[in-house]
C-alpha cells in the first residue's frame, strides 16, 4: 500500500467565473476512516466531493486516491463510488439491475454477478426486492439500493452526498447508526457530505468544517465540537457566546485576559496558544457550560460577569436564559431543568445575575481566516 | 494520466453540426438569397433581369424599387388589413381564451384536467387546412348556416357568408384559439392560488384581485399567447385564400401571388422581407421581455 | 362562488363546442348519402369507397407518406442530436443554435416556402418529392429538438453521473441510461414531426414538383374546384390519423421519467 492516506488533496481550487467554490483546500483522509465534510449550503463541500468523484474538474491543485494521481481521471476510471443526494437510481431498471449495473465494467464474471448482487442487497437488508422498480420503493429503501449499488463494486472510497437529506427525522437517526456500523465492518473509507452538525458528530471519526470554499477546521469530531477553532465553527456548532478580551499578561502556563465588559479571566495557555500582552482576542463558551448565579463568584477565582436577564425560554427538559452584559453583548445559557417544579424559577426576567463559567471551558478563537 | 483531458466541447459541436449544416444550407442561405433577390428586378418573362452595371444600379436607387412599390396605396391597404385582422384575432382570442385557460388550470376538477388540456392540444396540432375547410363547408351558400336561415324563414334567400372579412376573421380566430389557450394555461397553472386568497383576505374585490394579481402574475403567458397568435395571423395565407377569396387579400396571399401567378419574384421577396422584419421585430421585443423577466426563451 | 364556478364551466364547454363542432360536422357529412351536402339523407360509406378508386388521391397519399416518413426519419436523428448538444454538452454557439432552431417555427411559412423555391431555382434544382422532403426536414428538426430537449431537462443529470461513477464510459452511459430515458421524447417528437409534415400545405405548395402532389395539396385543389363529399371523406381520414398520432405523442410526453416507462 502506497500511503496511509486513502485520499490526498493538495491546493484544490474550483472557480466558477470569479467565485471560488472550493479555494485552495488541502486534506488528507485516512484509510478506513469515516470523514465528514460539514458546512452550510454553498460552502463548497459538494463541489469538493464531486471533484473527488471526477464529476467536476479542478481549476488548480491535485487529488490522489490510494496513492495514484486522479486529478484528471474520468469518473469511470476512479476507484471510488458515490451515493447521490437523490440516489440517482435508474428508473427503467429493477433493483437488481441497478445494483449489477457497474459490474460488467469491473470485470466481474457473469456467473458471479447474481451472488454479488444478492450479497450487496442483503448487506442493506433488501433481499427479496430484486425485481422491484425504484418507484415502487420507499425513500429509505431507495437510499439503501443506492448504497448497495455503490458498495457492490467494492470501491476504495465511498462518497456520500447528503444521502440522508430526504429521509424523515426518525428514519435518519436509525440510518445514521446503521451507516456507521456498516462502514466499520467493511473498513472502507467513507467521505460524507452534510450540513447537519449533529449528523456529522454522530457518525464521523473526523470532520472538516467548510466555509466559503475553505476548510475552517479539520479535527476529531468531538474536538470540533468542544474546541472550535474559529468563530464560524463555534457558531456552526451552536456555541454563540463570544467574549471579547485583551491579553493582560502571560504567566507561565496561564494567560490572563481582561474582559471588555470588565473582570479578569485566566486560561491555561496550552489551550490559548501563543499570545502577546495587549493583544485583542475572542473566546467562546458553550451555552451548556455557562451558569447563572445570584452572587459574584470572582472572589473565588471563578469568572463572573454581571448581566441582566432579558428573556427566558422554557423548553421542557431545559430552559434557555438570554442575558446581556454591561457592554450590551448577548449570551445564551442552557440550564437543565433539574430543580423541583414547585421551587419556581431561579431568576426573574429583568432581574440581575452573574454569568459564571469554569475557565477551562473557555475556548480561544483563531482570528479571521481559515486553517493553513 | 496527469494530463488535463481535452475540452469536452468537441462532442457538443459534433452533435450540433448536422443541424447547423441543414439549417445553414436549407434555411439561412435561402433566406439570404431571397433577401438579395428582393433588390433585383424581374425580367419580362419572370425570372431575374441581369444587372449590367452594379455601381450604376446601386447609385440610381433602382435596387429599392420593389420596396418603394410596396408602399403603393394598393399594397398599403393589404398590409393594413393584415395588421388589423391580426390585432382583432389576437384580442378576441385573448378574451375568449382566458376564462377557458383559467377553468382548465384552476377551476376544473383535477381528474378532468388532462382531458380538457388534451382537447385543446389536439386542434393545436391538427391540420389548419382541414379546420379552415370545415368553416368553408359550414358557411358556403349551400352550407348548414344558410340552410338553417332559409329553412327557419329568418332570411328569404341564402346569404353570402363566405368571401368577406367576417369569414376570414372567424377562420383566423377559430384556427388560432388553441395557440392562445395553451400558453395562458401554462402560466395560470403556475399561479399560486394562495396569492388570490391573500388578496381577498386583504380586502380586494374579485375584479381588483383579477387585475392586480392574476393578470400581472400570468403576464408571461399572455405575452407568449399574443405572439403565438399574432405572428401566424399576420402571415396567414390559407384562411384568407379559402374563406376570403379574391376580396380579402392579406400579405401572405400577396407574396404567394407574386411567386405563383404574377411571376414577380423580386417584388414577392421584398414583401416577404417586410413581413419577416415585422415578425422578427416582435420576436426581438419578446426576447427582451423574457430576458428582463429572467425566463428562458421558448426553447 | 358556486354559481361563478358553474358559469365558468358552462362557458368553457361552449368554447370546446366551438372548437369541435365544425370538425364534427365535417366528419358527419362525410357519411352523408346526399351529394347536395347540406341535406342529410342517411348514412353511406360511398365516398370512402370512391376515394379508394381515386388514383389522384391514392398517389397523393403515397407521396405524403414518403415525404412524412423520410423527413421525420431525418429530422428525428438530427433533432435528437442537437437536443443532446443543447441539453447535455458544453456547446459553443448555444445561443445561436437555439435561435436557429427557433426561427423556422416562427418565421411565416409563406416566407420559408418562397425562400426555398427561390433557392432551388438559383441552384437549378429540379422540383420533386425530394425538394419537399428537404423543406419538411427544415421545419421538423425544430419540433423534434424542442420535445427531446424537454425530456432531457426532465430528468436529473445525476443519473448519467451515476452511470459514469459505476464505470460506464460516456457512450455506454448514453446507450444504457440516457437513450432509454429519452426514448418517449424521441418517439413523441417523431410523431409530431410526422403530423406536421403530413399536414403541411403552404410550404409544400411552393416546393412540390410535378407528380409530387401531397395529400393536402390534393385536398386543396379539390376544394378549390368545388366542395364534394369526397373532400369530407379524405379530410376525415387525415384528421383521424393526426388525432391518433397526437394522442400517442401526448401520452408519451407525459410519461413521468421517474417511472421509466417506455411506452
Q: Write out pLDDT tens, residues A17-30.
A: 889 999 999 999 99
Alpha-carbon distance A98 to nearest alpha carbon in chain C (angstroms): 10
Distances in Å between the alpha carbon of B101 and those of A186, B186, B195, B221, C115?
58, 8, 18, 10, 37
State mean pLDDT over A322-342. 89
* pLDDT > 70? residue B100: yes
Among candidate residues C112, C113, C193, C181, the one with its CA nearest the CA of residue C145? C193
How far is Cα of residue A96 from the mean position of the Cα atoms in its chain?
Answer: 34
Q: Could you report the per-residue pLDDT of A280-315, keeping only the tens digit for each?
A: 888 899 999 999 998 888 777 778 888 999 999 998
Q: What is the pLDDT of residue C257?
A: 66
Q: What is the pLDDT of residue A269?
A: 61
C144 touches chain A (CB under 8 A): no
At B45, the pLDDT band (50, 70, 90 cuts) reads low
Among candidate residues A342, B40, A280, B100, the one with its CA nearest the CA of residue C19? B100
- Reduce the DSSP state of residue C200 to 3 states and report it: coil
Q: Are residues A264 and A224 part of one domain?
A: no
C-alpha cell at position C7: 358559469
Q: Chains near B, with 3+ CB pairs < 8 A?
A: A, C
- Range of weakest confidence among A327-331, B4-8, B208-212, C32-36: B4-8
Q: What is the pLDDT of residue C1?
A: 46
Q: What is the pLDDT of residue A369?
A: 44
Q: What are phi and psi of B71, to 5 degrees?
A: -90, 0
- CATH number for the domain harbouring residue A276: 2.40.50.140
Asked whether the CA dihedral A34, A37, A41, A46 is positive or negative, the reply is negative
Domain assignment present for residue A370? The answer is: no
Domain assignment present for residue A372? The answer is: no
On whether the CB atoms of residues B290 and B245 are closer than 8 A, the answer is no
A72 touches chain B (CB under 8 A): yes
* pLDDT > 90? residue A117: yes
- CATH number for the domain harbouring residue A184: 3.40.50.300
Q: What is the pLDDT of residue B298?
A: 47
For residue A20, what are the β-bridge partners?
A15
C179 touches chain A (CB under 8 A): no
On whether the CB atoms of residues B287 and B297 are closer than 8 A, the answer is yes
Residues of chain A that touch chain C, judged by Cβ-Cβ distance less than 8 Å: 53-55, 74-76, 80-82, 84-86, 88-93, 101-102, 105-106, 133-135, 149-150, 153
Contacts of C195 in chain B (CB under 8 A): 125-126
The CA distance from B185 to B107, in Å, is 12
Which range of residues forms the domain containing residue C189?
55-262
Q: With pLDDT > 70 as the criterion, what percentage of chain A qualifies?
A: 96
At B1, the pLDDT band (50, 70, 90 cuts) reads very low
On whether the CB atoms of residues C83 and C143 are closer than 8 A, the answer is no
Q: How far apart are the first and last CA of chain A?
A: 28
- CATH number for the domain harbouring residue C77: 1.10.3720.10
Of C158, C181, C259, the CB nearest to A86: C158
* pLDDT > 60? residue B2: no
State mean pLDDT over C28-54. 85
* pLDDT > 50? residue B90: yes
Of C163, C166, C260, the CB nearest to A91: C260
Domain assignment present for residue A369? The answer is: no
Q: What is the pLDDT of residue A225?
A: 92
> Model-level pTM?
0.84
Alpha-carbon distance C235 to nearest alpha carbon in chain B (angstroms): 6
Half-sphere exposure of residue B152: CA atoms within 13 angstroms, side-chain side: 7
| Best residue of C166, C175, C177 to probe chain A, by most A CBs closer than 10 Å | C166
Q: Are residues A337 and A253 part of one domain?
A: yes
* pLDDT > 80? residue C198: yes
Which range of residues forms the domain containing residue A185?
5-235
Q: Could you report the per-residue pLDDT of B218-254, keeping only the tens digit for each?
A: 888 898 889 889 988 988 888 998 888 877 888 888 9
Q: Are residues A185 and A68 part of one domain?
A: yes
CB neighbours (10 Å) of residue A271? 15
On whether the CB atoms of residues A65 and A27 are closer than 8 A, the answer is no
B147 touches chain C (CB under 8 A): yes
Q: Do C23 and B134 touch (CB under 8 A)?
A: yes
C-alpha cell at position C232: 369530407
A80 → chain C, closest CA residue: C165
For residue A192, what are the β-bridge partners?
A36, A160
Domain count, chain C: 1
The CA distance from B37 to C253, in Å, is 42
Q: Could you report the per-residue pLDDT of A219-264, keeping only the tens digit for each?
A: 999 999 999 999 999 999 987 899 888 888 877 777 888 887 777 7
Domain assignment present for residue A106? The answer is: yes
Asked whether the CA dihedral A231, A233, A234, A235 is positive or negative, the reply is positive
At B197, the pLDDT band (50, 70, 90 cuts) reads confident
Q: What is the pLDDT of residue B7?
A: 61
Alpha-carbon distance C39 to nearest alpha carbon in chain B (angstroms): 8
Question: ipTM of the assembly?
Answer: 0.88
Distances in Å between the alpha carbon of A345 and those of A337, A340, C206?
10, 10, 92
- Our CA angle for C225, C231, C232, nearest 5°, is 140
Domain count, chain A: 2
Q: With pLDDT > 70 as the criterion, what percentage of chain B qualifies?
A: 94
Q: Could you report the per-residue pLDDT of B53-82, keeping only the tens digit for each?
A: 778 878 887 788 889 888 899 899 999 999
Domain assignment present for residue C182? The answer is: yes
Contacts of B5 in chain A (CB under 8 A): 57, 72, 74
Q: Could you report the per-residue pLDDT of C143-192, keeping only the tens digit for each?
A: 999 989 988 887 788 999 999 999 999 999 999 999 999 999 999 899 98
* pLDDT > 70? residue A212: yes
The CA distance from A7 to A181, in Å, is 21
Q: Are residues A271 and A127 part of one domain?
A: no
Q: Are residues A50 and A198 part of one domain?
A: yes
Among candidate residues A263, A258, A269, A284, the one with its CA nearest the CA of residue A364? A284
Tell me how far apart the 2 most distant CA atoms of chain B are, in Å.
92
- Reduce the DSSP state of residue A117 to 3 states and report it: helix
Of B9, B26, B30, the CB nearest to C90: B9
The CA distance from A209 to A224, in Å, is 8
- Domain topology for B73-261: MetI-like fold (1.10.3720)
Contacts of B237 in chain C (CB under 8 A): 109-110, 202
- Range of weakest confidence among A171-180, A184-193, A275-284: A275-284
pLDDT, averaged across chain C: 88
Q: What is the pLDDT of residue A167?
A: 86
Amino acid at each position: 500500500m502506497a500511503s496511509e492516506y486513502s485520499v490526498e488533496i493538495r491546493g484544490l481550487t474550483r472557480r466558477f467565473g470569479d467565485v471560488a467554490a472550493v479555494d485552495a483546500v488541502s486534506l488528507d483522509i485516512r484509510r478506513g476512516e469515516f470523514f465528514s465534510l460539514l458546512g452550510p449550503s454553498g460552502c463548497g463541500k459538494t463541489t469538493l466531493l464531486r471533484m473527488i468523484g471526477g464529476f467536476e474538474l479542478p481549476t488548480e491543485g491535485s487529488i490522489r486516491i490510494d496513492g495514484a494521481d486522479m486529478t484528471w481521471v474520468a469518473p469511470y476510471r476512479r476507484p471510488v463510488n458515490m451515493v447521490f443526494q437523490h440516489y440517482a437510481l435508474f428508473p427503467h431498471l429493477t433493483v437488481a439491475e441497478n445494483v449489477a449495473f457497474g459490474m460488467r465494467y469491473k470485470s466481474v464474471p457473469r456467473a458471479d454477478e447474481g451472488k454479488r448482487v444478492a450479497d450487496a442487497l442483503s448487506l442493506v437488508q433488501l433481499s427479496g426486492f430484486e425485481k422491484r422498480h425504484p418507484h415502487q420503493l420507499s425513500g429509505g429503501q431507495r437510499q439503501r439500493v443506492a448504497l448497495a449499488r455503490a458498495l457492490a463494486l467494492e470501491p476504495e472510497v465511498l462518497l456520500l452526498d447528503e444521502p440522508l437529506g430526504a429521509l424523515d427525522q426518525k428514519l435518519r437517526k436509525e440510518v445514521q447508526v446503521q451507516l456507521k456500523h456498516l462502514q466499520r465492518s467493511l473498513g472502507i473509507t467513507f467521505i460524507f457530505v452534510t450540513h447537519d452538525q449533529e449528523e456529522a458528530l454522530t457518525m464521523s471519526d473526523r470532520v472538516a468544517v467548510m466555509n466559503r470554499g475553505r476548510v475552517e477546521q479539520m479535527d476529531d469530531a468531538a474536538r470540533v465540537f468542544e474546541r472550535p477553532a474559529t468563530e464560524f465553527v463555534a457558531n456552526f456548532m451552536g456555541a454563540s457566546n463570544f467574549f471579547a478580551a485583551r491579553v493582560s499578561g502571560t504567566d507561565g502556563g496561564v494567560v490572563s485576559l481582561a474582559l471588555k465588559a470588565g473582570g479578569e479571566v485566566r486560561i491555561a495557555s496550552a489551550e490559548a496558544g501563543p499570545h502577546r500582552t495587549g493583544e485583542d482576542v475572542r473566546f467562546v463558551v458553550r451555552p451548556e457550560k455557562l451558569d447563572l448565579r445570584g452572587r459574584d463568584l470572582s472572589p473565588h477565582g471563578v469568572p463572573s460577569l454581571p448581566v441582566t436577564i432579558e428573556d427566558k425560554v422554557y423548553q421542557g427538559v431545559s430552559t434557555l436564559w438570554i442575558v446581556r452584559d454591561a457592554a450590551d453583548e448577548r449570551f445564551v445559557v442552557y440550564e437543565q431543568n433539574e430543580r423541583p417544579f414547585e421551587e419556581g424559577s431561579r431568576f426573574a426576567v429583568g432581574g440581575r445575575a452573574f454569568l459564571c463559567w469554569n475557565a477551562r471551558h473557555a475556548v480561544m478563537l483563531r482570528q479571521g481566516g481559515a486553517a493553513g | 494520466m496527469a494530463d488535463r483531458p481535452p475540452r469536452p466541447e468537441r462532442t457538443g459541436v459534433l452533435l450540433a453540426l448536422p443541424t447547423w449544416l441543414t439549417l445553414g444550407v436549407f434555411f439561412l442561405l435561402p433566406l439570404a438569397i431571397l433577401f438579395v433577390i428582393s433588390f433585383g428586378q424581374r425580367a419580362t418573362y419572370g425570372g431575374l433581369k441581369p444587372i449590367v452595371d452594379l455601381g450604376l444600379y446601386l447609385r440610381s436607387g433602382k435596387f429599392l424599387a420593389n420596396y418603394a412599390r410596396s408602399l403603393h396605396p394598393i399594397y398599403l391597404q393589404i398590409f393594413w388589413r393584415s395588421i388589423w385582422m391580426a390585432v382583432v384575432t389576437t384580442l378576441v382570442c385573448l378574451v375568449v381564451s382566458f376564462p377557458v385557460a383559467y377553468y382548465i388550470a384552476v377551476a376544473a376538477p383535477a381528474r378532468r384536467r388532462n382531458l380538457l388540456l388534451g382537447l385543446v392540444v389536439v386542434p393545436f396540432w391538427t391540420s389548419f387546412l382541414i379546420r379552415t375547410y370545415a368553416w368553408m363547408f359550414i358557411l358556403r351558400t349551400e352550407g348548414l348556416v344558410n340552410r338553417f336561415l332559409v329553412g327557419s324563414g329568418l332570411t328569404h334567400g341564402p346569404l353570402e357568408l363566405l368571401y368577406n372579412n367576417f369569414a376570414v376573421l372567424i377562420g383566423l380566430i377559430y384556427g388560432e384559439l388553441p395557440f392562445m389557450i395553451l400558453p395562458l394555461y401554462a402560466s395560470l397553472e403556475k399561479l399560486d392560488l394562495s396569492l388570490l386568497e391573500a388578496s381577498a383576505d386583504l380586502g380586494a374585490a374579485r375584479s381588483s384581485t383579477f387585475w392586480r394579481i392574476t393578470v400581472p402574475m400570468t403576464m408571461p403567458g399572455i405575452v407568449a399567447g399574443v405572439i403565438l397568435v399574432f405572428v401566424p395571423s399576420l402571415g396567414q395565407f390559407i384562411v384568407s385564400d379559402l374563406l376570403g377569396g379574391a376580396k380579402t387579400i392579406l400579405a401572405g396571399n400577396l407574396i404567394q401571388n407574386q411567386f405563383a401567378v404574377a411571376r414577380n419574384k423580386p417584388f414577392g421577396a421584398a414583401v416577404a422581407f417586410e413581413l419577416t422584419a415585422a415578425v422578427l421585430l416582435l420576436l426581438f421585443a419578446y426576447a427582451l421581455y423574457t430576458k428582463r423577466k429572467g425566463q428562458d426563451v421558448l426553447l | 362562488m358556486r354559481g361563478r364556478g358553474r358559469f365558468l364551466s358552462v362557458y368553457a364547454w361552449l368554447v370546446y363546442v366551438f372548437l369541435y363542432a365544425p370538425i364534427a360536422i365535417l366528419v358527419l357529412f362525410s357519411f352523408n348519402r346526399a351529394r347536395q351536402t347540406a341535406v342529410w339523407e342517411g348514412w353511406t360509406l360511398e365516398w370512402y369507397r370512391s376515394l379508394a378508386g381515386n388514383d389522384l388521391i391514392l398517389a397523393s397519399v403515397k407521396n405524403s407518406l414518403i415525404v412524412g416518413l423520410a423527413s421525420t426519419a431525418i429530422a428525428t436523428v438530427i433533432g435528437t442530436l442537437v437536443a443532446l448538444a443543447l441539453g447535455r454538452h458544453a456547446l459553443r454557439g448555444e445561443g445561436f443554435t437555439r435561435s436557429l432552431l427557433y426561427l423556422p417555427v416562427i418565421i411565416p411559412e409563406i416566407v420559408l416556402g418562397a425562400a426555398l423555391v427561390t433557392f432551388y431555382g438559383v441552384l437549378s434544382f429540379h422540383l420533386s418529392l425530394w425538394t419537399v422532403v428537404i423543406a419538411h426536414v427544415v421545419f421538423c428538426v425544430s419540433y423534434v429538438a424542442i420535445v427531446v430537449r424537454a425530456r432531457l431537462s426532465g430528468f436529473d443529470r445525476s443519473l448519467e453521473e451515476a452511470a459514469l461513477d459505476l464505470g460506464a464510459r460516456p457512450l455506454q452511459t448514453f446507450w444504457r441510461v440516457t437513450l432509454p430515458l429519452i426514448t418517449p421524447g424521441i418517439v413523441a417528437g417523431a410523431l409530431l414531426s410526422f403530423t406536421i409534415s403530413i399536414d403541411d400545405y403552404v410550404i409544400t405548395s411552393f416546393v412540390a414538383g410535378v407528380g409530387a402532389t401531397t395529400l393536402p395539396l390534393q385536398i386543396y385543389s379539390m376544394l378549390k374546384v368545388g366542395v364534394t363529399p369526397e373532400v369530407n371523406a379524405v379530410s376525415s381520414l387525415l384528421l383521424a390519423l393526426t388525432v391518433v398520432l397526437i394522442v400517442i405523442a401526448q401520452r408519451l410526453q407525459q410519461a413521468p421519467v421517474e417511472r421509466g416507462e417506455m411506452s
